[in-house]
Amino acid sequence: MCRDVGRSENSVELVCVSKNFGAEDILPLLAAGQKVFGENRVQEAKEKWPQLRALYPGITLHLIGPLQSNKAAEAVALFDVIETIDRPKIAAAIDAAMRESGKTPQLYVQVNTGEEPQKAGVAPRELGALLSFCRERTLLEIDGLMCIPPVDQLASPHFALLNQLAREFQLKELSMGMSDDFELAIQMGATKVRVGSAIFGDRRMKISPTTI
């Protein structure tokens, strides 16, 4: 796939999204050598990953869901990459947790490219101010951007916007593309694709009624 669009295979990394799946589903992937996983809830990750990591060292865990500042310390303790910084309050909480713990996860800013009111992420026009806040008021180094395009729109303009913003602010990582559009995202410059159901199958079977 990478070669088809002139990208080298090691320029794109698969983040295998294991949310809503338990150890019995994840273990075969670990056994097959997959090392990079994404989870969208701190609590769920905390329940699953310490045991799996004890069995399979060298796992890289990405937080891809919205973060509350009261969970920042747990997130910093658990995740290697936090993709969802989207406001100064979260940046400050992560900064404090990193100083306290000495841990230094990689950090991305989530951009709400579709400016959807219900969706997490900083508005594109406010990205510059958030990056300045991180640079001037915290020790955080932001490595990349992440987006989740609106479900009812073509993804390509959103991927193009994220790519343009990453160039403008000289950020190297671009986390975009999910099961339905990861090929397009790779074509448009993604360095991380977050793929769940295309690997694990349908998540709806796995979700308990309270989380729907």
Ligand X SMILES: *Cc1c(COP(=O)(O)O)cnc(C)c1O
Closer residue to ligand X in complex, CB, 46/133: 46
148 lies in the site for ligand X, by CB under 6 A? yes
First-to-last C-alpha distance (Å) of the chain: 34
> Are 38 and 59 within 8 A, CB to CB?
no
154-193: which residues touch ligand X (CB under 6 A)?
178-179
114 lies in the site for ligand X, by CB under 6 A? no
19 lies in the site for ligand X, by CB under 6 A? yes
198 lies in the site for ligand X, by CB under 6 A? yes
Find the binder of ligand X among 2, 60, 197, 206 (CB under 6 A). Answer: 197
User: φ and ψ at 127, to 5 degrees?
Assistant: -60, -45
196 lies in the site for ligand X, by CB under 6 A? yes
User: φ and ψ at 177, to 5 degrees?
Assistant: 105, 130
Q: How far is it, in rounded angstroms, from Cα 169 to Cα 171?
A: 6
Hunting for tokens 């395009």 — which residue is that? 149
For 93, other C-beta atoms within 10 Å of its C-beta total 22
Min CB(197)–ligand X separation in Å: 3
Which residue is at the shortest CB distance from ligand X? 196
Min CB(58)–ligand X separation in Å: 22
Q: How far is it, in rounded angstroms, from Cα 212 to Cα 208?
A: 7
Sequence letter at residue 149: P
64 lies in the site for ligand X, by CB under 6 A? yes
Positions touching ligand X (CB under 6 A) are 17, 19, 40, 64-65, 148, 178-179, 194-198
